[in-house]
Structure 1
Amino acid sequence: MKPRIILSYAIILLLVCAAIYPALWIVMSSFKVGDSLYSESLIPKALTFDHYKELFTSKRHAYATWYKNTLFIAVMSTIIGSFLTLLGSYAIARFRFYGRKQSLMVMLVMNMFPGFMAMIAIFILLLQLNMLDNHWALILVYSSGAFITNVFVAKGFYDTIPRSLEEAARIDGASHFTVFYRVILPLSTPMLTYISLVVFSGSWVDFIFARLILRSQDKITLAVGLYNMVSQRNSTEFTLFAAGAVLLSIPVFVLYFWLQKYLVEGLTAGASKG
């Protein structure tokens, strides 16, 4: 075997270990007796499920409420964000209108800057609209951000679909919406899956905007709640935090594992043209 191939495999192995070890350490810590993250070995000598039980029975932490809030925000953001991205990207890819190229250029420039740079502007806007401490405020932020982030992937995917399919449908008398709903949308499953997973995972684990907008303890999300759990002075609930982090990762892990085929197809197809 050539040295270059050996070196490539060695680097890949190191990267895999660097990615898996922290996750495995958190999982094992969630089953450890006590409340300290320090352990003499990766696998604890004694295992317990008490931390998982305490998450849903503790009167100090409303973990079930945090989970429900996060699920509602993530699902609604995914539905609205995917819908906006599908329609907006289809219009950009298929129609020619004044300002089309300028709009694409503006969105390309906006993608170059991290979202948290707009925190102050978003906060002031939501304050003026009296929408602070509101789940729908977060949903609007995530949904609008989904379109800006994924518009080029979706447009690239639409560009790979032959226009002859749409022309044939229009000859039969189909409207633009009928063409989109009955011809384009069924062919967009890989791209739709990719966008939905990206929007869901982003809104599921987001901390910055959730911490900025949500203030009430009964409205905060999992990321904010888990941060508050260990950020308090003299807090020693690290194993409880580990158990909460494990449960936080399950929905995203299941979705990515279940839909990985469509995820890869959507990403590669959307990047091949446009």
Structure 2
Amino acid sequence: MSYTEVRAPKATATNVNADHVRGLRWWKEIGWRHVVGVVMIIICVVPLLYVLSASLVPGGTLTGSNQLFRSFDLSNYTNLGDRGFWSWARNSLIVCTVTAIGTVLMGAAAAYAFSRFRFRGRRGTLTGLLLAQMFPQTLAFVAIFLLLLTIGEVFPALGLNSLLGLICVYLGGALGVNTFLMYGFFNTVPRELDEAAKIDGATHAQIFWTIILRLVTPILAVVGLLSFVSSFGDFLIAKVVIQRPEQYTVAVGLYSLAADERTAPWGLFAAGAVVAAIPVILLFMFLQRYIVGGLTSGSVKG
């Protein structure tokens, strides 16, 4: 028996041992993350599949929709118009689009002023905005209701049962936190750019619209997306302000469908929830390149 023949079994055992150690190390460092990821995906996807399956069951109930995709019927989607869903969707899109655009413009203007100008009361105003955001807007239900009720007696377009009034409430509630979010981002833009533009004869408005906003596009996209999603899914404030069925938003309208859980058309409710998720998904996909890009999308080359 040669020396090579004697040593071969030991070498094989050593290789198996090394592979076993590498496998354990992979599970300790990386493998468990895959397990957690798969579990979280299941937790997130199963409720979505359940709602989608329930929307395809005509006249279905919550307990009768436990078997996923046991039928495929689009009658719930075709019947949404009979309940006024498309009117609710139109109202929600109007409110959320105007709110998102207004939030971005107002927050950007305020953040630019706090970041670039030095004026009396600047620090106190920033502190006041921070303190105001410590209290959620839901604590002001009674004040919002009474305020809009009083304003409606003078300007009905800004009172209760007014989409414009609801937009103003959303804008006021989102201004503080978004101003702080943009303020920190604006501070990362070098002031030398402003000084160079001023030397070339640019005004503050030209600097703001043509230079600064292009460099802070990622944060504008994030603020716009968050504002749209939060106002689109809001129920409490919209329920307080809007009380007429023809002016309901999607959240309030879907709640009216499921107000009585014993006779609620859960198939219609699920179909409305599926359709209501489409605008948010499309908006996120459209803005994803700005959100992921971060500051690199507005980097300065030179």
Structure-1-length-normalised TM-score: 0.91
CA apart distance, 1:165 = 0.9
Alignment pair present for 1:255 and 2:280 = no
C-alpha contact 1:30 1:51 (8 A) present in aligned 2: yes
1:20 counterpart (25, 35, 45) = 45
- Letter aligned with residue 147 of structure 2: L
Which structure is higher in helix share? Answer: 2
Measure, in 2, the Cα distance between the counterparts of 1:118 and 1:4: 48
CA apart distance, 1:189 = 1.5
Alignment pair present for 1:87 and 2:109 = yes
Secondary structure at 2:258 match in 1: helix
Q: Which deviates more from structure 2 when the two are superposed, residues 130-139 or residues 118-127? A: 118-127
Closer/same/farther in 2, CA of residues 267 and 152 from structure 1, 3 Å limit: farther
C-alpha contact 1:230 1:238 (8 A) present in aligned 2: yes
C-alpha contact 1:77 1:200 (8 A) present in aligned 2: yes
- Mapping 1:1-274, distance limit 5 Å: 1-39=26-64, 42-56=67-81, 58=82, 61-130=83-152, 131-232=159-260, 234-266=262-294
Structure 1: give runs of 5+ residues left out of the alignment.
270-274
CA apart distance, 1:92 = 0.8
Cα distance per residue 1:179-225 (max 9 Å; x no partner): 11111112222111111111111111110110000011111111001
Closer/same/farther in 2, CA of residues 164 and 101 from structure 1, 3 Å limit: same
CA apart distance, 1:88 = 0.5
Cα distance per residue 1:89-137 (max 9 Å; x no partner): 1101111112212222222222232220121211111111110111111
CA apart distance, 1:40 = 6.5
Aligned length: 266
C-alpha contact 2:96 2:231 (8 A) present in aligned 1: yes
C-alpha contact 1:229 1:235 (8 A) present in aligned 2: no
Measure, in 2, the Cα distance between the counterparts of 1:78 and 1:67: 16
C-alpha contact 1:193 1:266 (8 A) present in aligned 2: no
CA apart distance, 1:244 = 0.2
Measure, in 2, the Cα distance between the counterparts of 1:220 and 1:29: 24
| Partner in structure 1 of residue 155 of structure 2 | none
Highest Rg: 1 or 2? 2
Measure, in 1, the Cα distance between the counterparts of 2:57 and 2:178: 41
Measure, in 2, the Cα distance between the counterparts of 1:126 and 1:62: 26
Measure, in 1, the Cα distance between the counterparts of 2:113 and 2:45: 41
C-alpha contact 1:35 1:236 (8 A) present in aligned 2: no
Secondary structure at 1:133 match in 2: coil
Q: Which deviates more from structure 2 when the two are superposed, residues 194-203 or residues 241-250? A: 194-203
- Letter aligned with residue 151 of structure 2: L
CA apart distance, 1:4 = 4.8
Structure with the bigger RCO (C-alpha within 8 Å, sep 6+) is 1
Measure, in 1, the Cα distance between the counterparts of 2:179 and 2:65: 48
CA apart distance, 1:267 = 9.2
Structure-2-length-normalised TM-score: 0.83
Measure, in 2, the Cα distance between the counterparts of 1:169 and 1:72: 37
Measure, in 1, the Cα distance between the counterparts of 2:74 and 2:65: 20
Closer/same/farther in 2, CA of residues 41 and 206 from structure 1, 3 Å limit: closer
| Partner in structure 1 of residue 16 of structure 2 | none
Measure, in 1, the Cα distance between the counterparts of 2:116 and 2:257: 49
C-alpha contact 1:29 1:242 (8 A) present in aligned 2: yes
Closer/same/farther in 2, CA of residues 134 and 237 from structure 1, 3 Å limit: same
Over the residues paired in the alignment, what is the CA RMSD in angstroms?
2.0
C-alpha contact 2:50 2:66 (8 A) present in aligned 1: no
Closer/same/farther in 2, CA of residues 88 and 97 from structure 1, 3 Å limit: same
